[in-house]
Amino acid sequence: MSSRTVQPGLSFEYVMWIFTRISGLSLILLALVGAISAFALGARTQVDLPTLIRWTFFPNPNHIVNSEIPDIALGWANAFWQVMQILIVFFGVTHGFNGFRVVIEDYIGQSIAKPFIRGLIFLFWMFSLVVAVYVVLFS
Amino acid sequence: MGLKRRVGFFAGLKYRGGGPMWAWIFHRVTGIAMILFVGTHIFASFFMQQTGSDFATTINIIYESWIFQIVVVFIVMFHGLNGMRIAILDIWPKFQVFQREALWLQWLIFIPIFGLTVFIIVQRAISGSS
């Protein structure tokens, strides 16, 4: 198969296409770090499976309240996990809302509603990020 | 784009793309489902924590029920594994010829992990320990 080299312009769609791949792979990596850490922090004795799954999706101390962990401050709630949560939220929310935008724009095409839908999704994206960072840092 | 895009719903149903087509459809459906379910859960948790709203608590009780957890695990794991296949094949395009084999491999990874998760969740639900 002969291949040709194409130099793509740095358009918004191209950047988001790359971002979707990178953020998707990063989310899998972050989930693996979360799962392995939850095993290391006490899966055998203190953590049940639902908690392990919740921690894998989002390592927030609120996600382990139903487990029999004696002291959450020991390893489960610290600055490292806050950074992890913000990374997961940023990658996940951006990846998700961008994917939502792509799906919607596939079906509406070039319509007069497109800029409004883009603006609405942008507002939802900003709102979700602000809410999530507030929850991670101040609650 | 010279593509003819105005294909009706029933004409679209006749397209036989096989596994990769269904993977594409599932990828979209699970993506939108995640925006819906996980988004609702995030905002419900926020209001549950900040205002103690009964409605938000009800939403989270439904979300955290074991039946819904199985659905969410399926959605997230399928979307993750399928997205990993897409990303890997996009990074090394010469493997695109093996995309059907990659799909089989994807299900081969998916089934044991999901099956084990469902087994443990159902087992715990029946024995009543969360």
Cβ separation A131–B31 shorter than 8 A:
no
Asked if the C-beta of B127 comes within 8 angstroms of chain A's C-beta atoms, the answer is no
Q: Can you give the residue ranges of every domain in chain A?
A: 12-138
Q: What is the mean pLDDT of chain A?
A: 83
* A·B CB contacts under 8 A: 62
One-letter amino acid at B13 equals L
H helix or E strand, kind and range, residue B47: helix B19-51
**Distance (Å) from the C-alpha of residue B88 to the closest C-alpha of chain A?**
9
Output the DSSP codes for A70-123. S-TTTTTSSHHHHHHHHHHHHHHHHHHHHHHHHHHHHHH-S-TTHHHHHHHHHH
pTM for this entry: 0.83
Kindly indicate the confidence band of residue A1, based on its pLDDT and cuts at 50, 70 and 90.
low
Percent above pLDDT 70 for chain A: 88
pLDDT one-digit tens code per residue, A32-76? 998 888 888 876 667 777 778 888 888 887 777 766 676 766 777
Chain B positions touching A97 (Cβ under 8 A) are 35
**Residue of B79, B63, B73 lying closest to B114 (CA atoms):** B73
pLDDT confidence band for A94 (50 / 70 / 90): very high
Instruction: Tell me the chain B residues in contact with residue A48 when contact means C-beta distances shorter than 8 Å.
Output: 124, 129-130
The rounded Cα A84 to chain-centroid distance in angstroms is 10
Angle value at C-alpha B32, between B4 and A93, nearest 5 degrees: 115
Domain residue ranges of chain B, discontinuous segments joined by +: 18-127
pLDDT for A79: 85
Q: What tens digit of pLDDT does each residue of A6-15 get?
A: 776 788 888 8
Round to whole Å and give the CA distance between A85 and A19.
19
Rounded (5°) CA angle A87-B43-A129: 35
CATH number belonging to domain B18-127 = 1.20.1300
Distances (CA, A) of A46 to A39, A49, A71, A72: 10, 10, 11, 11
Residue B17 parent element (H or E): none
- Chain B: nearest CA to A95, how far in angstroms? 10
Please identify which residue in the block is written with the tokens 């491999």.
B105
Which of residues A134 and B130 earns the better pLDDT score? A134
Please say if the pLDDT value at position B9 is more than 80: no
Rounded to an integer, the average pLDDT of B103-121 is 90
CB < 8 Å to B87, chain A: 21, 24-25
How far apart CA A59 and CA A93 sit, in angstroms, is 15
A44 phi and psi angles, rounded to 5 deg: -70, -35
Task: Give B80 to chain A, closest Cα distance, Å.
Answer: 7
Q: Least CB-CB distance to B84: which of A1, A28, A131?
A: A28
Whether residue B129 is predicted with pLDDT greater than 70 in this model: the reply is no
- How far apart are alpha carbons A58 and A89 in whole angstroms? 8
Q: What is the ipTM of this complex?
A: 0.80
pLDDT of residue B1: 44
Select the residue from A5, A131, A139 to test the B interface by mutation, using most B Cβ atoms within 10 A. Answer: A131
Task: Provide the residue type at B99 as one letter.
Answer: Q
Least confident window among A72-81, B30-39, B107-116: A72-81
CA A64 to the chain's CA centroid: 19
Q: Do B121 and A50 touch (CB under 8 A)?
A: yes
CA angle A46, A31, A65 (to 5 degrees): 35
User: How many whole angstroms separate alpha carbon B123 and alpha carbon A17?
Assistant: 41
**B87 vs A24, A31, A66: nearest CB:** A24
> For residue range B55-102, what is the model confidence (pLDDT) as tens digits?
888 888 888 888 888 898 899 999 999 999 999 988 888 888 888 888
Contact B130 A21 (CB under 8 A): no
pLDDT at B32: 92
The pLDDT, as a whole number, for residue A111 is: 79
pLDDT beyond 50 at B37: yes
Query: Which amino acid, residue B22?
Result: W
